[in-house]
């Protein structure tokens, strides 16, 4: 009944193919929450996979519902003692659309397939592979010790890829039931494939549309060029006033005053690397004076996701009547989310673009969150991962992307520690989603160590 025995069992689970078979069964379920025809499959993932897995580990399961959610939520708990540490886990079983026809030859979204040393399948990185790692690590501790020696709670949702509808209300309604010492969950990528990582929150995200409707219909560019405004040109200049040619944001309310010292210290030894399949970092892009890690994990970024004027497929010799751009601001703690749009309106008016209309996209706005990198639970988790892997984990104050983390920090009042089991080049949300099996194996061992150490008492 030792830590080493639990780690040995975990290694055997992976090396024997048991873990792969479990994950393959889950990937085979096409749980596309963006596809209205998949409602039954979403519910089946909870009933056929999650509930039996938790119940086999002695958890009591409960179904939670919300009228806005595409499928129920599954809550599982195993309570072993009032004076023991309590940890809340979280995962989502839904995935982005499979995009079946766009995968490379020999692989597809609904079968776990090994190719060129990688494991392919929709959800292997986001998020079936990640919560399967955590659940099987917990199973290894139970099988070895006979008990966890801490209280475990877990929440699985099936709508994260559509903005987690209902999750906030469910957590608010069951706040007492979901109380814990911390959220310990897995999503998103490591800093790189080789380095264990923890992140402590996520950047906020707001999508907005910028629109100019100049007039009804297009007009011949030979007869009217130079006489009437071109919305495409106007909108391009409006966008150029928001961000420089090198990507630096020009609206003061959209950037923090400075980087906190604890954030700067945590990022000092973090090198952003997308691997061989990732893009090359451009050092001159973004906020000057910051390292790449500080730009993506400690600062804000503005992106134009799409731009349309005229008819791109079949251009004609006419001045278009309309221009449209879908834009996105990723922001960190310190930015007032309620002032993002008003600040943009004031900026556009000052710059001479009152004709630009700001429209909501109707998508969920994610709030920015992070806890202190010096928090004792953060340092304890990092020490446990280092003990198991023999590597120094990276500490990221927040994920560069966005998660509904504010529900756990603001609604439930939890410190949040995320231990990702993916890497930046995994192609999540795209065709050919994949992971190096070594990342999953190391994650499985690391989480086994964390759960074992938690049963030894956790941080003082």
Overall average pLDDT of the 312-328 stretch? 97
Q: d(Cα 109, Cα 97) in Å, to the nearest integer?
A: 9
Residue 305, burial from CB neighbour count under 10 angstroms (0-12, 13-18, 19+): exposed
Residue 329: name the closest of 226, 254, 429, 420 by CA: 254
Q: What is the pLDDT, as a whole number, of residue 397?
A: 94
pLDDT at 275 over 80: no
In three-state secondary structure terms, 382 is helix
Compute the Cα dihedral for 430, 271, 199, 7 and give only its sign.
positive
Share of the chain above pLDDT 90, in %: 93
In three-state secondary structure terms, 334 is coil
Q: What is the pLDDT, as a whole number, of residue 315?
A: 96
Q: Domain spans of the chain?
A: 3-202+368-454, 204-256+300-360
Q: d(Cα 217, Cα 203) in Å, to the nearest integer?
A: 40
Q: Tokens at residue 459, please?
A: 């941080």
pLDDT one-digit tens code per residue, 129-156: 999 999 999 999 999 999 999 999 999 9
Overall average pLDDT of the 42-54 stretch? 98
pLDDT one-digit tens code per residue, 211-270: 999 999 999 999 999 999 999 999 999 999 999 999 999 999 999 999 999 999 999 999
Q: d(Cα 283, Cα 247) in Å, to the nearest integer?
A: 11
Produce one character per residue of 75-111: b if its CB has 16 or more CB atoms within 10 Å, e if not.
bbbbeeeeebbbbbbbbbbbbbebbeeebeeebbbbe
Residues making up the chain, counted from first to last: 460
Q: What is the pLDDT, as a whole number, of residue 459?
A: 85
What's the Rg (C-alpha) of the chain?
24
> Which of the two residues, 1 and 368, has the higher pLDDT score?
368
Confidence of residue 458 (pLDDT cuts 50, 70, 90): confident
Q: Which CATH architecture has domain 3-202+368-454?
A: 3-Layer(aba) Sandwich (3.40)
Mean of all residue pLDDT scores within the chain = 96
Overall average pLDDT of the 179-192 stretch? 96
Overall average pLDDT of the 41-49 stretch? 98
pLDDT one-digit tens code per residue, 371-411: 999 999 999 999 999 999 999 999 999 999 888 899 999 99
Q: d(Cα 44, Cα 67) in Å, to the nearest integer?
A: 18
Q: d(Cα 374, Cα 259) in Å, to the nearest integer?
A: 15
Q: d(Cα 181, Cα 167) in Å, to the nearest integer?
A: 20
Overall average pLDDT of the 109-130 stretch? 98
| Least trusted range by pLDDT, from 184-188, 273-277, 374-378 | 273-277
Q: What is the pLDDT, as a whole number, of residue 272?
A: 86
Q: What is the pLDDT, as a whole number, of residue 162?
A: 92
pLDDT at 277 over 80: no
Fold classification of 204-256+300-360 (topology level): Alpha-Beta Plaits (3.30.70)
Q: d(Cα 58, Cα 234) in Å, to the nearest integer?
A: 62
Q: What is the pLDDT, as a whole number, of residue 411?
A: 97
Q: Tokens at residue 390, please?
A: 């023999």
Q: How far is CA 259 from CA 244, 288, 333, in A?
A: 21, 13, 10
């Amino acid at each position: 009944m030792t830590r080493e025995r639990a780690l040995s069992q975990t290694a055997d689970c992976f090396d024997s193919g048991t873990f792969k078979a479990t994950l393959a069964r889950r990937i085979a379920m096409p749980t596309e929450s963006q596809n209205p025809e998949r409602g039954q499959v979403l519910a089946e993932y909870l009933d056929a996979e999650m509930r039996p897995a938790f119940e086999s580990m002695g958890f009591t399961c409960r179904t939670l519902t919300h009228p806005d959610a595409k499928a129920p939520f599954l809550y599982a708990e195993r309570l072993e003692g009032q004076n023991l540490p309590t940890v809340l886990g979280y995962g989502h079983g839904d995935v982005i659309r499979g995009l079946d026809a766009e995968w490379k030859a020999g692989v597809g979204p609904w079968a776990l397939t090994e190719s060129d040393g990688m494991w392919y399948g929709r959800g292997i990185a986001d998020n079936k592979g990640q919560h399967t790692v955590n659940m099987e690590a917990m199973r290894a501790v139970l099988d070895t010790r006979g008990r966890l020696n801490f209280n475990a709670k877990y929440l699985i949702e099936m709508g994260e890829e559509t903005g987690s509808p209902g999750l906030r209300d469910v957590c608010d309604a069951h706040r007492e039931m979901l109380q814990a010492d911390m959220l310990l969950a897995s999503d998103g990528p490591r800093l790189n494939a080789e380095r264990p990582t923890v992140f402590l929150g996520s950047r906020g995200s707001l999508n907005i549309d910028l629109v100019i409707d100049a007039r009804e219909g297009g007009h011949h560019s030979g007869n009217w060029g130079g006489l009437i405004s071109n919305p495409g040109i106007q909108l391009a200049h409006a966008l150029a006033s928001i961000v420089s040619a090198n990507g630096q944001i020009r609206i003061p309310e959209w950037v923090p005053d400075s980087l906190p010292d604890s954030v700067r210290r945590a990022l000092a030894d973090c090198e952003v690397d997308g691997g061989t399949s990732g893009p090359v970092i451009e050092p001159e892009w973004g906020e000057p004076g910051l390292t790449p890690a500080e730009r993506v994990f400690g600062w804000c970024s503005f992106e134009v996701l799409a731009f349309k004027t005229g008819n791109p497929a079949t251009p004609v010799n006419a001045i278009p009547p309309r221009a449209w751009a879908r834009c996105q601001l990723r922001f960190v703690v310190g930015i007032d989310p309620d002032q993002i749009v008003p600040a943009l309106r004031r900026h556009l008016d000052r710059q001479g673009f009152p004709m630009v209309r700001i429209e909501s996209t109707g998508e969920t706005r994610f709030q920015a969150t992070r806890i202190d990198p010096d928090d004792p639970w953060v340092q304890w988790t990092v020490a446990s991962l280092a003990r198991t892997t023999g590597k120094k984990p990276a500490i990221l104050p927040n994920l560069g992307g966005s998660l509904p983390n504010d529900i756990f920090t603001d609604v439930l009042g939890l410190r949040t520690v995320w231990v990702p089991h993916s890497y930046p080049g995994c192609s999540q949300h795209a065709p050919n989603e994949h992971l190096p099996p070594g990342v999953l194996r190391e994650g499985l061992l690391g989480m086994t160590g964390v759960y074992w150490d938690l049963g030894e008492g956790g941080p003082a």
